[in-house]
């Protein structure tokens, strides 16, 4: 190849792919970048190997060691196969594979099935697209040792990915995730990947598992009488072109809702996501069509799921009959309050129940849980850690609900991952329950602010693409860690929690304590007035995220607007002091 100014390690990987046993289309894609002298793209495609983050293996599709393609997914699957064979040497290993609607997802799923089956592993292969939570459920109900979901969740259309699951139906956690990557790291040639599938080891599944899954969800309904009276509740739903279209409408019908209004344009399965900029229900833009439909039909609630249906965004009406979007913290607070209240009224709270959330999710939930005498555990970002706690406590303590601020929730123990299908059903049930009482979700939320304090949260994500961006994010975190700000938003920083070094430091006394959680590159700054800012590089996207939480007391719901304005000002001041 012609000489380009590439780092030696990058040049070596490029040469290996050009001369190795890769297909002609892959080599042509690399050669085109060389001919175009596109050193930036070549560097980003080859400067490292894809690694497991909080959500598994995820990246931009294309040729290269840092890209999602049949070779990187093949290597991951071969490594996972090798690990499973070592872990279960005397068993017939079974796995489940599912995929979403993304471009190439069905092709990649077939590659993964072929590699598993070629290694003597029995594969249950969903015959069409299915949501991530159903895969988690299927692993458990079919007695499998692992599973793989082909998806990039809510990332832009150029992405795809690979979520790897363990025998409990949860995403891989330590030491299994690291052990799998060790096995993948040993595969330094594509000759080590067995791509030749064995069809006798592949069984297609679908409707029977669908029915079991939906029936399991329907058992979780609490307010059946209220739903019966409010069965015509106007629910607008969009799957944003993804798997939610397969499962959410029938699940809502199972719960008893008869007036589900679909956003037809987004029911179309399309990996290009033509109606949105990003297929992410965290983004207001993604709900534009759903909100337009809701206004047209005067809906009661609006819901939209991401491509693999593990996250859901909500819109409800405020006191002016206008639709407003709830953030993940607000939605989870409503869900937790409903579940805790229902369990309390049923006399089921006896001190043996628990709730799980992440460290960057609203601490209003801790306060709500404490008021009911229910334990609230905080785990690292990533729903796999919630699933891990559930598995550790299975049969010992009772899980009520779990969630994270990034629009992921789980009710019930049927799965070990966030489940937007059951979340849609439960949020619809909440709307029906409170409407039946002559109230609304908005009124309940304001009442919670009066009771527990007004917690205002905001997420700021800054995108830094490529190797240069990764280096910049690393530098930002090092600066925050080594030069801890003394003042944020006019208030002293009184505590620093450094999860990478597992240390909590009192900034007034200098006393440190150990944090009893796995190491993770997260920093949390706590101020004297109870505000919190958490800084964390994303494990699945080229972003650094800042999770901001400010709070105040609210004596009456009429004070909400004024209090919100003051909290917004405080929040912006804190971000400014961080240089954001």
* In the chain, domain spans: 1-47, 52-211, 231-452, 454-577
Are 536 and 381 in contact, with CB atoms under 8 Å apart?
yes
Tell me: the pLDDT tens digits for 264-287?
999 999 999 999 999 999 999 999
Quick one: what percent of the chain has pLDDT higher than 90?
A: 91
Q: What is the C-alpha to C-alpha distance for residues 486 and 242, in angstroms, rounded to an integer? A: 45
Tell me: the pLDDT tens digits for 26-59?
999 999 999 999 999 999 999 998 876 556 789 9
Residue 386 CA neighbour count, 13 Å, CB half: 30
Q: Which of 53-62, 135-144, 282-291 has the lowest mean pLDDT?
A: 53-62
Are 448 and 277 in contact, with CB atoms under 8 Å apart?
no
Residue of 380, 381, 387 whose CA lies nearest to 415: 387
Question: What pLDDT was estimated at residue 181?
Answer: 84
HEC secondary structure over 428-495: HHHHHHHHHCCCCHHHHHHHHHHHHCEEEEEEEEEECCHHHHHHHHHHHHHHHHHCCCCEECCEEEEE
Q: What is the CATH number of domain 52-211?
A: 3.40.120.10
User: What angle, 0 to 180 degrees and rounded to 10, lies between the N-to-C axes of helices 8-19 and 24-35?
Assistant: 140
HEC secondary structure over 206-256: CHHHHHHHHHHHHCCCCCHHHHHHCCCCCEEEECCCCCHHHHHHHHHHHHC
Residue of 168, 177, 181, 149 whose CA lies nearest to 518: 177
Arithmetic mean of pLDDT over the chain: 95
Residue of 274, 268, 325, 275 whose CA lies nearest to 302: 325
Q: What is the C-alpha to C-alpha distance for residues 252 and 425, in angstroms, rounded to an integer? A: 6
* Average pLDDT, integer, range 194-208: 98
Beta bridge partners of 552: 454
Coil/strand/helix, residue 503? strand
* Average pLDDT, integer, range 529-554: 91
Residues 6+ apart with CB under 8 A from 336: 355, 365, 368, 369, 401, 403
Question: What pLDDT was estimated at residue 65?
Answer: 95
Residue of 465, 459, 144, 416 whose CA lies nearest to 325: 459
Beta-carbon count within 10 A of 437 CB: 12
* Average pLDDT, integer, range 86-98: 97
Q: At residue 190, does pLDDT exceed 90?
A: yes
Q: What is the C-alpha to C-alpha distance for residues 281 and 313, in angstroms, rounded to an integer? A: 5
Answer whether 231-452 and 454-577 agree in fold: no
Tell me: the pLDDT tens digits for 530-541?
999 999 998 767
Q: At residue 3, does pLDDT exceed 70?
A: no
pLDDT band at 380 (very low <50, low <70, confident <90, very high): very high
Q: What is the C-alpha to C-alpha distance for residues 145 and 524, in angstroms, rounded to an integer? A: 36
Coil/strand/helix, residue 382? coil
Q: What is the C-alpha to C-alpha distance for residues 43 and 545, in angstroms, rounded to an integer? A: 24
Level-2 CATH architecture, domain 454-577: 2-Layer Sandwich (3.30)
Residue 305 CA neighbour count, 13 Å, CB half: 33
Tell me: the pLDDT tens digits for 309-345?
999 999 999 999 999 999 999 999 999 999 999 999 9
Question: What pLDDT was estimated at residue 580?
Answer: 86
Q: At residue 204, does pLDDT exceed 90?
A: yes
Q: What is the C-alpha to C-alpha distance for residues 336 and 411, in angstroms, rounded to an integer? A: 10
Q: What is the CATH number of domain 231-452?
A: 3.40.120.10
Q: What is the C-alpha to C-alpha distance for residues 520 and 537, in angstroms, rounded to an integer? A: 10
In this structure, are strands 122-126 and 202-205 parallel, antiparallel, or unpaired? parallel
Q: What is the C-alpha to C-alpha distance for residues 59 and 308, in angstroms, rounded to an integer? A: 16
- DSSP character at residue 327: P
* Average pLDDT, integer, range 491-498: 96
Question: What pLDDT was estimated at residue 177?
Answer: 87
Q: What is the C-alpha to C-alpha distance for residues 430 and 339, in angstroms, rounded to an integer? A: 10
Question: What pLDDT was estimated at residue 298?
Answer: 98
DSSP 144-163: -SEEEEE--TTS-TTEEEEE
Question: What pLDDT was estimated at residue 185?
Answer: 86
Question: What pLDDT was estimated at residue 1?
Answer: 44
Coil/strand/helix, residue 59? strand
* Average pLDDT, integer, range 375-399: 96
Residue of 145, 144, 161, 147 whose CA lies nearest to 53: 161
* Distance set, CA 267 to CA 261, 273, 274, 394, 556 (Å): 11, 11, 12, 37, 42
Q: Which of 153, 247, 362, 440 is catalytic?
A: 153
Let me know if 153 is a catalytic residue.
yes
Q: What is the C-alpha to C-alpha distance for residues 572 and 580, in angstroms, rounded to an integer? A: 9
Residue 339 burial (10 A CB sphere; 0-12, 13-18, 19+): buried
pLDDT band at 188 (very low <50, low <70, confident <90, very high): confident
For 492-499, the CB contacts below 8 A with 24+ separation are: 492/527, 492/528, 493/525, 493/526, 493/527, 494/526, 494/527, 494/528, 495/524, 495/525, 495/526, 496/523, 496/524, 496/525, 496/526, 497/522, 497/523, 497/524, 497/526, 498/523, 499/359, 499/380, 499/523, 499/524
* Average pLDDT, integer, range 479-499: 94
Are 252 and 221 in contact, with CB atoms under 8 Å apart?
no
């Amino acid at each position: 190849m012609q000489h380009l100014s590439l780092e030696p390690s990058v040049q070596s990987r490029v040469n290996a792919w050009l001369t190795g046993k890769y297909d002609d289309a892959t080599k042509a894609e690399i050669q085109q970048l060389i001919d175009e002298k596109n050193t930036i793209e070549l560097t980003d495609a080859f400067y490292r190997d894809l690694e497991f983050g909080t959500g598994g293996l995820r990246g931009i599709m294309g040729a290269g060691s840092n890209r999602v393609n049949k070779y990187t997914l093949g290597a991951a699957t071969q490594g996972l196969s090798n690990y499973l064979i070592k872990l279960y040497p005397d068993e017939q290993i079974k796995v489940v594979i599912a995929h979403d609607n993304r471009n190439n997802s069905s092709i990649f799923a077939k590659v993964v099935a072929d590699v598993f089956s070629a290694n003597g592993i029995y594969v249950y292969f969903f015959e069409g697209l299915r949501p991530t939570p159903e895969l988690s459920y299927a692993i458990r109900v079919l007695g499998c040792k692992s599973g793989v979901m082909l998806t990039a969740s809510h990332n832009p259309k150029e992405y795809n990915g690979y979520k790897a699951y363990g025998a409990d139906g949860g995403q891989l956690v330590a030491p299994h995730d690291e052990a799998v990557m060790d096995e993948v790291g040993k595969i330094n040639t594509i000759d080590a990947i067995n791509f030749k599938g064995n069809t006798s080891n592949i069984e297609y599944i679908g409707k029977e598992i669908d029915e079991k899954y939906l029936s399991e969800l329907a058992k979780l309904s609490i307010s059946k009488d209220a739903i019966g009276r409010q069965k015509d509740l106007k629910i607008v739903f969009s799957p944003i072109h993804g798997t939610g279209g397969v499962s959410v409408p029938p699940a809502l019908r199972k719960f008893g809702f008869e007036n589900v209004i679909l956003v037809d344009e987004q029911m179309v399965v399309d990996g290009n996501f033509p109606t949105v900029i990003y297929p992410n229900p965290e983004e207001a833009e993604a709900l534009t069509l759903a909100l337009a439909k809701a206004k047209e039909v005067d809906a009661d609630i609006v819901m939209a799921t991401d491509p693999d249906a593990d996250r859901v965004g909500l819109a409800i009406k405020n006191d002016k009959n206008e639709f407003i979007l709830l953030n993940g913290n607000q939605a989870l607070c409503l869900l937790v309050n409903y579940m805790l209240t229902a369990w309390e009224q049923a006399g089921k709270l006896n001190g043996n129940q628990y709730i799980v959330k992440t460290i960057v999710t609203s601490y209003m939930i801790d306060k709500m849980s404490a008021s009911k005498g229910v334990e609230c555990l905080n785990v690292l970002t990533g729903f796999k850690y919630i699933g891990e706690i559930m598995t550790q406590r299975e049969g010992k303590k009772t899980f009520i609900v779990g969630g994270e601020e990034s629009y992921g929730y789980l009710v019930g123990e049927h799965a070990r991952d966030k489940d937007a299908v059951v979340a849609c059903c439960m949020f619809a049930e909440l709307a029906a329950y409170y409407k039946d009482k002559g109230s609304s979700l908005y009124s309940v939320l304001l009442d919670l602010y009066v009771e527990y304090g007004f917690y205002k949260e905001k997420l700021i994500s800054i995108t830094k693409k490529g190797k240069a961006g990764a280096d910049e994010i690393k530098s930002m975190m090092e600066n925050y860690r080594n030069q801890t700000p003394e003042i944020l938003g006019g208030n002293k920083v009184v505590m620093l929690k450094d999860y990478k070094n597992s240390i909590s430091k009192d900034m007034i006394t200098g006393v440190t304590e150990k944090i009893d959680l796995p190491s993770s590159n997260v920093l949390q700054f706590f101020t004297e007035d109870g505000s919190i800012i958490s800084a964390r590089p994303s494990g699945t996207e080229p972003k650094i995220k800042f999770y901001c939480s400010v709070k105040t007391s609210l004596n009456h719901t009429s004070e909400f607007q004024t209090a919100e304005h003051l909290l917004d000002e405080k929040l912006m001041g804190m971000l400014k002091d961080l240089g954001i």
